[in-house]
């Protein structure tokens, strides 16, 4: 894919970029390696001070950055502003908590004493997607930098301006030269980076295909990788659920970011006793959503980020209807320029249809009716993916049964699945391995160094 900004609201090219040359990449890796060697010796308090300075820059540049995301990938400006604010929150969180998380731990037993140090690994390569063009990068970068690593970013080819803006932001906040750099390179350039001895580890957020490919390259050179891949999150509504609240949250859970989030609710699994009520409440809210210019503060749903994305969701909906599903609302491209798709709800969705078996990355919600919690859990787990899940019930013991039965990395009870710097984020099965954010995310890219024994006084 060419490295270019194309406005998804119009389909018009904004700006095309040449890939960085081999010489540029070589020099950047040299700078990154030198910076990592120095940054690891910088006291934790000074690392935290840099993150605070980055947060201040984010606050100052919030509107500019938000408009860039809206322009390049079509998310609503309202949600883009929230995304930039979340990046600042993440910086401040690690600035406040990082020192404690990285403090040396002492282990004392009857026959020995020792300690565990959390040391950086070096230069981390981040391969990132376009859907949260700032937050995806910050949630990988901030804990890694706090831990004393440097980072080079290969961002998605359709958000080069966001990618360059992030590098500039770190520079303006006073980051040492080479600590955070953006490389404008195609996906085909990633394997060579992973093989380079100056790259210590890699973190990737993206599709299963990209994750597998990157992990295989990392495996060949024994380098650590964290994989945050696709999701097919179940949204389970049980018979005793608060249907109004569930339906209200379901709209956000499916439609946020124009339906393009790994943790969007992608399969609505509803007890048949409340299915009619849930469908009615859900559909009436979906009908009320306003599709339009993402820069307009009254818009709920903007365009898909890419033309291919719009084609994919249209094809998935069409194939699901051909398989026998009932269309309740939407079901077609919006009648306007750009890559818009009408918010769509499907019911009576066959279990072997596209919307049941493929990750749907757009504003389309398939509803499945089940006989009760046991069938709901079987269906929820009947996917090769295992990222998030949302369970709606008033019964605490049923909720706990669901928590322990779901093959996923995250369970949210009567709540929207969302990432938060304070809690670990990640999945199991085809959704990948490793965690981002929280203390667990911070410790992914550290050398857990055991020290035992001492020099006799």
Question: In the window 212-231, what residues touch ligand NAP (CB under 6 A)?
Answer: 213-214, 228-231
Q: Work out whether 157 is an interface residue with ligand NAP (CB under 6 A).
A: yes
Residue of 146, 152, 184, 210 interacting with ligand NAP (CB under 6 A):
210
Residue 400 designated active-site? no
Closest contact distance (angstroms) between CB of 319 and ligand NAP is 18
Query: Any idea of the CA torsion for 236, 241, 243, 244, to the nearest 10 degrees?
Result: -110
Phi, psi (degrees; rounded to nearest 5) at 374: -65, -45
Count the residues of the shown chain that bind ligand NAP, applying the rule CB under 6 A.
28
Determine the length of the chain. Answer: 457
Phi, psi (degrees; rounded to nearest 5) at 114: -155, 180
Residue of 5, 9, 131, 347 interacting with ligand NAP (CB under 6 A):
131
Coil/strand/helix, residue 198: coil
Show the CA angle centred on residue 128, arms to residues 125 and 131, nearest 5°: 165
Residue of 71, 101, 142, 156 interacting with ligand NAP (CB under 6 A):
156
Kindly name the residue from 83, 228, 359, 436 that is annotated as catalytic. 228
Chain residue at closest Cβ approach to ligand NAP: 206
Closest contact distance (angstroms) between CB of 231 and ligand NAP is 5
Q: Work out whether 207 is an interface residue with ligand NAP (CB under 6 A).
A: yes
Residue of 187, 382, 403, 423 interacting with ligand NAP (CB under 6 A):
187
Question: In the window 234-293, what residues touch ligand NAP (CB under 6 A)?
Answer: 262
How far apart are the C-alpha atoms of 160 and 1, rounded to whole Å?
12
Q: Work out whether 22 is an interface residue with ligand NAP (CB under 6 A).
A: no
Q: Work out whether 190 is an interface residue with ligand NAP (CB under 6 A).
A: yes
How far apart are the C-alpha atoms of 348 and 35, rounded to whole Å?
56
Q: Work out whether 387 is an interface residue with ligand NAP (CB under 6 A).
A: yes
Closest contact distance (angstroms) between CB of 83 and ligand NAP is 12
Closest contact distance (angstroms) between CB of 27 and ligand NAP is 21
Residue of 35, 205, 257, 383 interacting with ligand NAP (CB under 6 A):
205
Closest contact distance (angstroms) between CB of 1 and ligand NAP is 5
How far apart are the C-alpha atoms of 183 and 123, rounded to whole Å?
13
Contact 225, 213 (CB under 8 A): no
Show the CA angle centred on residue 366, arms to residues 365 and 371, nearest 5°: 135
Residue of 39, 93, 94, 130 interacting with ligand NAP (CB under 6 A):
130
Closest contact distance (angstroms) between CB of 139 and ligand NAP is 8
138: enclosing H helix or E strand? helix 135-146
Residue of 359, 364, 367, 389 interacting with ligand NAP (CB under 6 A):
359
75: number of Cβ within 10 Å: 28
Q: How far apart are the first and last CA of the chain?
A: 63
Percentages (nearest 5) of helix, strand, coil residues in the chain: 45, 20, 35
What contacts 24+ positions apart, CB below 8 Å, involve 136-141?
Answer: 136/205, 137/163, 137/166, 138/86, 138/87, 138/90, 138/91, 138/166, 139/90, 139/419, 139/421, 139/425, 139/436, 139/437, 139/441, 140/203, 140/205, 140/436, 141/166, 141/180
What mask, x for binding ligand NAP by CB under 6 A, covers residues 400 to 439? -------------------------------x--------
Residue 228 designated active-site? yes
Q: Give contact residues for ligand NAP (rule: CB under 6 A).
A: 1, 127-131, 154-157, 186-187, 190, 205-207, 210, 213-214, 228-231, 262, 359, 361, 387, 431
* Residues labelled catalytic: 228, 262
């Amino acid at each position: 894919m060419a490295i270019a900004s194309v406005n998804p609201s119009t389909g018009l090219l904004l700006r095309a970029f040449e890939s960085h040359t081999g010489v540029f990449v070589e020099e950047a890796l040299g700078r990154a390696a030198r910076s990592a060697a120095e940054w690891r010796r910088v006291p934790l308090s000074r690392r935290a001070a840099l993150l605070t300075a980055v947060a201040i820059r984010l606050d100052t540049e919030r509107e500019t950055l938000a408009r860039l995301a809206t322009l390049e990938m079509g998310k609503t400006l309202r949600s883009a502003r929230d995304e930039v604010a979340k990046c600042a929150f993440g910086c401040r969180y690690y600035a406040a908590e990082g020192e404690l998380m990285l403090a040396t731990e002492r282990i004392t037993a009857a026959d020995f004493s020792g300690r565990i140090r959390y040391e950086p690994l070096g230069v981390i390569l981040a391969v990132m997607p376009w859907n949260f063009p700032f937050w995806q990068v910050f949630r990988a970068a901030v804990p890694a930098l706090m831990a004393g690593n440097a980072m080079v970013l290969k961002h998605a080819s359709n958000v080069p301006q966001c990618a360059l803006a992030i590098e500039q932001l770190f520079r303006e906040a006073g980051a040492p030269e080479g600590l955070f750099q953006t490389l404008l390179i195609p996906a085909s350039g990633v394997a060579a980076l992973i093989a380079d001895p100056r790259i210590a580890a890699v973190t990737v957020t993206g599709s299963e295909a990209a994750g597998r490919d990157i992990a295989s390259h990392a495996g060949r050179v024994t380098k650590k990788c964290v994989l945050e891949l696709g999701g097919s999150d179940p949204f389970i509504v049980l018979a005793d659920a608060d249907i109004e609240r569930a339906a209200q949250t379901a709209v956000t859970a499916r439609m946020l970011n124009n339906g393009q989030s790994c943790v969007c609710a992608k399969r609505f699994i509803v007890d048949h006793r409340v299915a009619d009520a849930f469908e009615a409440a859900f559909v009436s809210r979906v009908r009320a959503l306003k599709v339009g210019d993402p820069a307009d503060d009254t818009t709920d749903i903007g365009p898909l980020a890419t033309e291919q994305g719009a084609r994919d969701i249209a094809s998935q909906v069409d194939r699901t209807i051909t398989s026998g599903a009932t269309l309740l609302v939407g079901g077609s491209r919006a009648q306007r320029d750009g890559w818009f798709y009408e918010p769509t709800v499907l019911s009576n969705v066959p279990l072997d249809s596209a919307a049941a078996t493929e990750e749907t990355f757009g504003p389309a919600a398939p509803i499945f009716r089940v006989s009760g919690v046991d069938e709901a859990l079987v269906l929820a787990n009947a996917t090769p993916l295992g990222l998030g899940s949302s369970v709606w019930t008033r019964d605490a013991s049923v909720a706990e049964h669901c928590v322990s039965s779901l093959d996923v990395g995250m369970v949210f009870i009567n709540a929207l699945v969302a990432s938060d710097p304070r809690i670990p984020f990640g999945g199991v099965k085809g959704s990948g391995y490793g965690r981002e954010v929280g203390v667990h995310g911070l410790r992914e890219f550290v050398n857990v160094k055991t020290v035992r024994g001492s020099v006799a006084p």
